[in-house]
Amino acid sequence: MKRYLITGCAGFIGSNFVYYMLKKYDDILLVNLDKLTYAGNLENLKGVEGDPRHVFVQGDICDKELVTSLFEQHDFDYVINFAAESHVDRSITNHEIFVETNVMGTVNLLQRAKEAWYDAEAKTWKEGKKYLQVSTDEVYGALGAEGYFMETTPINPHSPYSSSKASADHFVKAFHDTYGMPINITRCSNNYGP
């Protein structure tokens, strides 16, 4: 059975991801760590209530002890980090929480995953592990009426929100480049619908 630590999945995209995964896979465990900020809503997860393949944990991705204990309990194969402060307008009025959650929270998840998955002496990673960071196209900055972004487009964030997401991406890449951590970063544009 594959075991996932998924974060922020009482929010918009993450809750849809829970439904998608539970419909697609029988033999799976999704441990959903969400702080339930103003953006999280357990109503989004009503349809999976009572499903033993989904375990909800209310907590903060910045909480070292909590994330360590979840790794100890569940021996995760994958981490998928959806959790974020995600609204640009709010980042303009209060950017500090964006640094805490989006940057420090991501670094905490990376570090806890590294402790669980990495053999520092042998410099090897356990087989089949992966960390996936859900980022945003906004790390590339603004696009005019024409053109498109590519993976090779220089990072050029402007808002505190996109700067915090870009910073998190750099840490994810640094864990790959420095320690060889198996990672992916996705940078989707705006989502809508289920």
Ligand X SMILES: NC(=O)c1ccc[n+]([C@@H]2O[C@H](COP(=O)([O-])OP(=O)(O)OC[C@H]3O[C@@H](n4cnc5c(N)ncnc54)[C@H](O)[C@@H]3O)[C@@H](O)[C@H]2O)c1
* CA neighbor of 188 nearest in space, from 14, 9, 4: 14
**Taking CB positions, which residue lies at the least distance from ligand X?**
11
For the bound state, the minimum distance from the C-beta of residue 30 to ligand X, rounded and expressed in Å, comes to 14
What tokens does 42 get? Answer: 């357990």
Q: Is 49 considered catalytic here? A: no
Q: Is 21 in the site for ligand X (CB under 6 A)?
A: no
Q: Is 11 in the site for ligand X (CB under 6 A)?
A: yes
Angstrom CA distances, 145 to 142, 148, 152, 174, stand at 10, 9, 20, 33
Is the backbone of residue 50 left (phi > 0), alpha (psi -120 to 50) or beta? Answer: left
Measure the CA–CA gap between 4 and 77, rounded to whole angstroms. Answer: 6
Report the residue from 4, 5, 18, 40 that binds ligand X according to the rule CB under 6 A: 40
Q: Per CB under 6 A, does 124 bind ligand X?
A: no
Q: Which residues are catalytic?
A: 137-138, 161
Q: Name the site residues for ligand X (rule: CB under 6 A).
A: 7-8, 10-14, 33-37, 39-40, 60-62, 82-86, 101, 105, 134, 136, 165, 188, 190-191
